């Protein structure tokens, strides 16, 4: 317990240590997989419920709810691919005797740093209210007091 990081030993070490390492890795992967599957199932159930309730609420409210759910899905998927996936690759590469070398460390650091940028940008792009505000594309309405000419034939 005097080290700053605990690692898994997949091949070398005592039999007890190797079994504990594989067990910890399997439990970690099972828990992660379960949480991802639960997220996908719940998101699907929410989409079904929103589609059923479209006749009970206004179309604008329904669209807003769907856009917010879409934004939450984007906010969940980005960390999975930018943070979770590189970590899983680094964790499991020694289990399969893959030597990825130092470049994988650079990829992981870049991915974790990119997450702080990609997450808010994705939300701004995903939600039309924010997208219009950032892109400065306000709807330009014509004033009502513009004189209109009528031609009589």
Q: Is 55 exposed, middle or buried (CB count within 10 Å of its CB: 0-12, 13-18, 19+)?
A: exposed
Domain containing 27: what range? 15-135
142 within a domain of the structure (yes/no): no
Phi, psi of 142 (to 5 degrees): -80, 140
**Ordered alpha helix ranges (H), 10-84:** 15-52, 59-79
**62 lies in some domain:** yes
Residue 144's pLDDT is what? 52
Residue 85 CA to residue 69 CA, distance in Å, equals: 23
Query: Which whole-number Å values give the CA distances from 86 to 1, 73, 93, 127, in the listed order?
Result: 26, 20, 10, 28
Q: Is the pLDDT of residue 61 over 90?
A: no
Classify residue 147: in a domain, yes or no.
Answer: no
Average pLDDT for the chain: 77
pLDDT in tens, 71-93: 888 888 888 887 778 777 877 77
Give domain status of residue 131, yes or no. yes
Query: Taking 80 as the threshold, does the pLDDT of residue 42 lie above it?
Result: yes
Q: How many CB atoms lie within 10 A of CB 35?
A: 10
What's the pLDDT score for residue 21? 81
Total domains in the fold of the chain: 1
For residue 152, tell me if it sits in a domain.
no
In a 3-state reduction of DSSP, which class is residue 4? coil
With respect to residue 42, please indicate whether it lies within any of the assigned structural domains.
yes
Residue-wise pLDDT tens digits, 97-106:
778 777 877 8
pTM tops 0.75, yes or no: no
Structural domain contains residue 65: yes
Task: Flag whether 57 is in a domain.
Answer: yes
């Amino acid at each position: 317990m005097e080290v700053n990081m605990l690692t898994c030993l997949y091949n070398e070490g005592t039999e007890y240590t190797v079994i504990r390492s594989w067990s910890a890795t399997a439990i970690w992967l099972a828990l992660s997989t379960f949480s991802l599957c639960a997220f996908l199932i719940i998101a699907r159930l929410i989409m079904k419920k929103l589609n059923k309730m479209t006749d009970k609420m206004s179309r604008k409210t329904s669209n807003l709810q769907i856009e917010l759910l879409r934004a939450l899905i984007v906010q969940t998927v980005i960390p999975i691919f930018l943070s979770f996936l590189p970590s899983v690759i680094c964790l499991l590469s020694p289990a399969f005797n893959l030597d990825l070398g130092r470049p994988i460390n650079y990829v992981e650091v870049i991915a974790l740093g990119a997450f702080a940028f990609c997450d808010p940008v994705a939300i701004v792009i995903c939600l039309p209210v924010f997208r219009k505000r950032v892109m400065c594309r306000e709807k330009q309405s014509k004033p009502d007091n513009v004189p209109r000419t009528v031609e009589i034939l």
